[in-house]
Each structure stands twice: as structure tokens, then as C-alpha cells.
Structure 1
């Protein structure tokens, strides 16, 4: 289970509850605070709450459709299923996409984890405040060691870690939300106005939805790696939807309310819980960050390592050595480049929609409409020119053209660097149209190019 080979149903150990624990451990982390804080720039508490929940469910839908049936049916991850659309060599793009996105998320989480851990040590009097910078570096190194140890047995260790961490993360998240409402006051939160709202309310609503859609589209690599470990697709559906999708929305509400009630907080309640409720309240918030972020980093490191394990020479290295390829870059970046990484969070979030939406779109149309829910696993693991997924020298140009078209459509509708938009973004957002366009172009390319040429294993 530490490689990309298909797992027979009889050897898949995860129940629906285990899938939920792993999904919730993945989704619930301090990035939810940051996402909610971004939404608070545009919407108030009432509109923001509805928008966050709506965007969460819209964003998880393409991921579930693209990953749940094929990964659950064949016991493989998202990289293997992408070979049917990108080619046996073209799937390197999917591996790079998974690795870079997961490492990016883990850097954000490790930075937050190290800061929270340092603050926890200072607040309890264990360490002096002048040593804070050194403590943050030490916490990054400690977190890396914990993650590496937790993954020593692959999927078995992952299940053990998330089974114990997920309930604690959920309870602490509810405690932080309750304390926040109690200390600040619900009326104060409701009355607060967004600080950076545009004159056009349609843009504000669309951007609020877009932020959550993009965040949930980034679960594409995580979903495949988790779902492949369960023998039942049906039993995995709702645990994945609630664990990966709805959890993000619910915990993002903490960031929304905090940012509205405490302008300049960026959605992070832990900076202000000490002043609002004293040391014990602050400790609850800091404990949430430490536990939630470690759990998510563990899952992310497993996903990144699983993807890289399909590339030589990583696939020949022992599992405990392979995990270092996902852990070391995160540790270095969070310890020495924390400020630049934190400043580009919103741009990183938008790029998740730019890339993962179109990828999910072409997989959905390919699996359900063009291949009639059947993939050729022998072809997926055959890198020779005789493979049905070899296309042209191992690359499917139709798949990459569809990805490029979807990404271009996203950039046209919403610039991820400046967040300036063009019509009709205010009505349709950016990620969903990009996803649909990629799907349509891929279907057209298969009909006009691949099927007539006999490439890709499509039935004439």
C-alpha cells in the first residue's frame, strides 16, 4: 500500500469511518481560518456563511465525481487514473501537480504550526518570549520528525494517526468556534462589515464562492489516495463529502467571524483568544492548530510520497526514505522562508482552481461518457509503445490542450494574481466554467482525433 499499484478489494483495510477520519483530518486545519478570512474581505457574516457552505459543496463535487468511482473501483490513486487522459509519460504532469500543491499546502500549515507551537511554549511559561524565532525553527524540525515517524508504516500508520487525531480536531474546532462567539458576541459578529468589499455585490458573492471552490478542488490528489484504501465506493461517498468538503466550510466560518470581528486578524482567532478569554481559552485555540495541522501534514506527506513513488529512482527507495522527499522541502521552506510563503496564500489558492478544476473536468467526461466507466489497468502500468495509453510517445496532446484551454478560461475570467475579473465572472465564477470547458474540449478531441486514429483505447 506504499506504492501506486492497484490494491485488491480484499486487502483494503479502511471502513467508511476510517475514510471520514482521514478526510476530516486532512480538511480541518488553519488554512480554513485563512480561507474564511479571505471571504470576510468581501462579505458579512450572514452572506459569508451561506456562501462558504455553498462554495464548499460546489468545489467538492467535481473531485468526488473524478476520483471516487475510478479510484475506489480499481484501488489506485489519482496519478494512475490520469494516465488514461494524459498518457503513460504525460502523467508526470499529474505527479508534479500533486507534489507541488501538497508541498505548498504543507508549507502553509507548517508555518502556522510552528508559530502556534512557539506561542504555546511562551504562553505557558516554558520558554521566554525573546526565544520565539528560535522556537519556531525548532517546532518546524520537531513537526517534521513527528510526521516522518507517523508515516513509517504507510497507510497503516496513516489510519492509526488520523483515527486518534480526527475526533480531537473536531472537538477542539467546535470549542474554538463556541468560545469565539461567546467572547466576542454574536451581535457584534453579525453587525461587522467586510473591510475590502467591492462596490458590485455580485463580484463579492462570486469571489466568496470562488475561494471555497478553489480550496476544495485542491482535494483532487488527497481524495484519490484516501479512497483507494476502502473496498466500498458506496460506503466512501458521504464520508468523503462531509470529511473533505463540508468540514472546510464549517471550520472556515471561524476565520470568517474572527476576521469580521477583529479586523487585521486575517481570520486567525488564536492571536486574540488570550486577550478575549485568558490563557486557558488561548491554549485551546493553540492546541487546535498544533493537532489539526500535524494531522493534515501527515496525510499530505503520504499523498505526495505516494505520487512520487511512481517515479524512478524514488520507486526503488525504501518507504521511510521516500517520505523524506515530501518532508524535507516543507521543513526548509517553513523554517527559512515563512514570510514570502504566507504572503502568497491567496494566489496559491486561486491556482488550485486553475489547475485542478480542468483536470477533474477531463477525467469526469472521459470516465463516464467516453470510456463508459472502464479503465485498462494493464495499459496504465505498461510504459511501452504497445500500451493503449501510450498515445503519441506516451503523451496525449488532446488532454493537455483541454487543460490549457480550461486554465486560459480561468485566467480570462479571474486573474489569480490581482483578482481582477471580466464578465461573466460575476455570474458564473471562474473554476466551474474552466472545468466544464476542459471537459467539452476533451470530448471533442476524442471524437475528432483520438477515436478515428485508434489512440487511447477508445472503442470506435
Structure 2
């Protein structure tokens, strides 16, 4: 074997570990431009769940108030999400959950991944699969005259097929995901515009603006704040995947603005259609009304495209989640091949796809509950990275282990960070219980998310100073000792 061959094999191995493992990406390995990342985020945002988000919003408010709730909730939620994920990972080119070792400690990251991230992304992935199944069962009903139920066995069969196709895309890595989304995202924008045109050819704008909310409470102010809170949760829900995807971009501007703007634009245009369909037809999911409005040919072609877009979104979500699980397990999964890990994760949402009705019925509760914990996590991350560390993280320490690890904290756990998350989450659930829908008076004026983020930041800053900074734990304000050692 020649020296050049050996070098090529080493380079390939390093690149593979950077893409599918824990190594930081070099500049030449960051392949996504701002345009590439914008198409990825647009494609993610216009997945079918955005229509459901719009339809759920108008359960509480009409079209005009729904627009304001959507804009307020998503703009604030996405800003918190981007500051709590995109900047940290992109700056160092490090997978999001490896970077979060500097905040939670290596064991603390594992707790976050298995308690919050894994369960949240299982839910979103299974929801995408179920939507795919509903689209194809509706195509069968319209094209072949079948009478399959909207949550019947065929939905599960097609959901499993979607998960399998998603695994094929995922096993080929983020480059394949990026290439597909260059075509999917523009097509989705056209499809969404077409959906709105078809809706408004059957109804008037006066009908839309006069339509009453579907299931409101008597208190209009409470209805509006609940709608805002729901959209805040929708914006925050991007946190588990966005940091890992952002590290593939070429620079900070190519990461932050597409992450915020792409998701925001995609969400807004799709939610507008979902709100209109929910108010005028009583169904926000296009799988239920696209064929009747668009006709058998146009409607079926549209559903085919939307169904495929769900699969690419599924692959993007699963890529970040599988990396998170791999990082959290350390050497335990280091030698397991990427396709095998991907299949293991996708087996979990595959199980949920056997209960398609449950995912739809609990959609609003699922979004808000996931936002409870993500809001607290983002508050802690923002406080640590921007205020305490001042955006300086010792890169080599992220890969250290044992008693000499500068980021060991207390047995691998930053107790201050986890306590702050618990306190802020408890405050959120006291302010607004998404299961019982009980609220405190302050909720009507400030939501539960914004105070929870602030409380998480304040509690963390105090506890972290007492438990870590004052005792010299966590490598705060210190040079990167590992980098210095490497230069000697």
C-alpha cells in the first residue's frame, strides 16, 4: 500500500467520523451555503405538520388573530431556538450534543438526550410517517374508489414504507439530504401557493375573515395567548435538530439567518393555508381536502409531492437525533455502523405509527409539552454560552475524559444546569398546564415560555456561580489548556 493510498484512507475515515460521529468539521467539510441551508429549512418547515399547526391555531382564534398569534409566537420561539442551538454548533463545527457538554457535562447531555430529545423526535418522526400514510390512503380512495379509513391499517402500512424510504435517504448522509431539498423546497412553495388558490376559488375572503374559531373558550384574551403559546412551542420544537444541521454551513451568516428566516417563512406560508382550510373546511390536513378541491389528477399529484417532502423532513430530523444518541452513548456505539444506528432509531417511530389516531388527537398537547422543556434548555444554554463563557468554549476539552476533564463538573453532570431546567419547567407547568389547560392570571399577559426562559437564565447564573465558577469547575474564563499542551 502506497503512502498516498494510506493518506486517502485516513482522510476518508476522518471525514466519515466528522459527518457521522463526533469530530469537528473542517472548513472544507462544511458544504452547505446559505442557499443550501435555506432550502433545507424551508423544506422542513413546509412539511405537513405546519398545516396541522395552522389548523390547531384556529381552534382558539379566527383568521386575523391567528395571523398575529402565528407571527408573534414563531418569531419569538425561533429566536430563542436559534440562539440556543445554531450559534454554538456552527461556530465550532461540532455536533450539537457534543458542544452541549460545555453546558450540561457529558452525563448531563445524555440525560437531556434520552429524556427530552429522543422522545420529542420520535413523536415528530412518527407524525410525518402517519401523514404520509394518510396522503397515500386518500390517493387510493380517490383513484381506485377504495374506502380506507383515515386512521386505518393502510395508513400504518404506508407510514412504515415512508420510514423505510427515509432510512434509505438518511443512510446516505446529509449531502444527499441537502441535494434533495434543493428540489423539494421550491416545489413545496409552489404547492402551498396552489393550495391557497384552490381554497379561495371555492370560498371568498369575506367568508375567511368572518369565520369563527372552531373550539374557543369564553375568554378571548385567553384564547389568543394560548394560540401564541402554541406557536411559541412550534418555533421552539426545531431546537433538537437545528444545531447539528447548522454545523454543516460555511459560516455564521449562512447558518443563523437561514435557520431563522427559512423556518419562519416556510412556517408562515404553510400555516396560513392550514388556518384557512381549518376555518373554511374544518380540516387543516391537506390529505383530507386536497383531492376534493384540486380534482383527481392535480390533487393526487400534489399529495404525492407533499408525501415525499415528509420523507425528506423525516431524514433531516433523524440525522440529528441519531447523532445525538451516538454522542450520548460514548464508546458504546462508536463501532456501530451509521445505517444500523439509523434503523434502530427509526424503529421507535415505526412502533408509534401503529397508533395513527393518537398522534393526531394529541398533536397540540405534544407540541406544547415539548416546548416546556426546550424553553428551559434554551434559557440555560443562552446564559452559559453568551453570558458566562462569552462565546468561548475550549474545543479540545469537549473531547477530554476522566478526572482531568475540565468540563467534568460533578461526576460529568452540571448540577446547576439541570436544576435550572427543572425549576423553569416547573414554573411553566404552574403557569400553564397543557394537559388540563389550567392557567394563572399572569399567563394572559406574558405567556409561559418567555418567563420560563428568563427564570432558567437567572437560576442558572446564580447556581452556576455558586457550584462551578467560584470553585473553579467548568473551565470558565480559562484558556484552552489542551490546545496549549498541544503546542508544547
2:66 maps to which residue?
Answer: 48
Give the Å deviation of 1:434: 0.7
Name the structure 1 match of 2:214. Answer: 195
Maintained 8 Å contact 2:138/2:287: no
Normalization by structure 2: what TM-score? 0.89
Does the Cα contact within 8 Å between 2:129 and 2:160 map onto a contact in 1?
no
Distance of aligned partners of 1:452 and 1:326 in 2 relative to their CA distance in 1, 3 Å threshold: same
Contact 1:29/1:293 (8 A) holds in 2? yes
User: Who is 1:150 aligned against?
Assistant: 169
Q: CA separation in 2, counterparts of 1:168 and 1:203?
A: 37
Kindly state the Cα deviation for residue 95 of structure 1 after the two structures are TM-superposed.
Answer: 2.0
Kindly indicate whether the alpha-carbon contact (under 8 Å) linking 1:354 and 1:410 is maintained by their aligned counterparts in 2: yes
Whether 2:417 is the aligned partner of 1:417: answer no
- Residue 9 and residue 182 in structure 1: after superposition, are their counterparts in 2 closer, same or farther (change >3 A)? same
**What are the superposed Cα offsets for residues 90-143 of structure 1, whole Å, 9 maximum, x if unpaired?**
110232222221111011111111111121133222x74359845323312321
Task: Confirm or deny that 1:273 pairs with 2:290.
Answer: yes
Change (3 A) 1:173 1:315: farther
User: Is the Cα–Cα contact under 8 Å of residues 126 and 350 in structure 2 kept in the other structure?
Assistant: yes
Q: CA 1:301–1:188 in structure 2 vs 1: closer, same or farther (change >3 Å)?
A: same
Structure 1 counterpart of 2:336, from 294, 314, 317: 317
Question: 2:352 matched to which residue of 1?
Answer: 333
Deviation per CA, 1:269-290, whole angstroms, max 9, x where unpaired?
4323333443245325523430
Instruction: Label 1:269 to 1:150 Cα distance change in 2 as closer, same or farther (>3 A).
Output: closer
Alpha-carbon distance in 2 for matches of 1:353, 1:202? 21
Which residue number corresponds to residue 449 of structure 2? Answer: 431
**1:209 counterpart residue number:** 228
The Cα shift of 1:30 comes to: 1.6
Structure 1 residue 153 displacement after superposition: 2.2
Alpha-carbon shift at residue 5 of structure 1 (Å): 2.1
| Residue 292 (1) aligns with residue 309 (2) | yes
CA, structure 1 residues 269+320, in 2 after alignment: closer, same or farther (shift >3 Å)? closer
Give the structure 1 partner of residue 361 of structure 2. 343
TM-score, length of structure 1 as denominator length: 0.94
Residue aligning to 2:269: 250
Write the distance in 2 (CA, Å) between the matches of 1:291 and 1:186: 31
The 8 Å contact of residues 156 and 356 in structure 2, kept in 1 or not, is answered as no
Query: CA separation in 2, counterparts of 1:197 and 1:130?
Result: 31
Tell me the distance in 2 between the aligned counterparts of 1:201 and 1:62: 27
Out of 105, 125, 134, the position equivalent to 1:106 is 125
Shift, 1:322, TM fit = 1.1
Name the counterpart of 1:459. 477
| Alignment deviations for residues 293-324 of structure 1 (CA, whole Å, 9 cap, x no partner) | 11211111111111122224333211111111
Q: Distance in 2 between matches of 1:421 and 1:280?
A: 47
Deviation, structure 1 residue 50: 2.0
| Shift of residue 4, structure 1, vs aligned partner | 2.7
Aligned to 1:184: 203
Pick which of 50-59 and 235-244 moved more.
Answer: 235-244
| Paired residues of 2:87 and 2:243 also in contact (CA < 8 A) | no
Q: What do you get for the CA RMSD once the two structures are aligned?
A: 1.8
Between the aligned partners of 1:338 and 1:121, the Cα distance in structure 2 is 18
Contact 1:151–1:302 at 8 Å: present in 2 too? yes
Match of 2:12 in 1: none
Q: Render the CA deviation track for 1:356-404: whole Å, top value 9, x for unaligned.
A: 1111111111111100111122222223121121111111110011000
The question of whether the paired residues in 2 share the 8 Å contact of 1:406 and 1:435 is answered with yes
Q: Which aligned pairs between 1:360-439 and structure 2 lie closer than 5 A?
A: 360-439=378-457
Give structure 2 stretches of 5+ with no counterpart: 1-18, 479-488
- Using the TM superposition, give the Cα deviation of residue 459 of structure 1 relative to its aligned residue in structure 2, in angstroms: 2.9
Q: Is the 8 A contact 2:198 2:293 kept in 1?
A: no
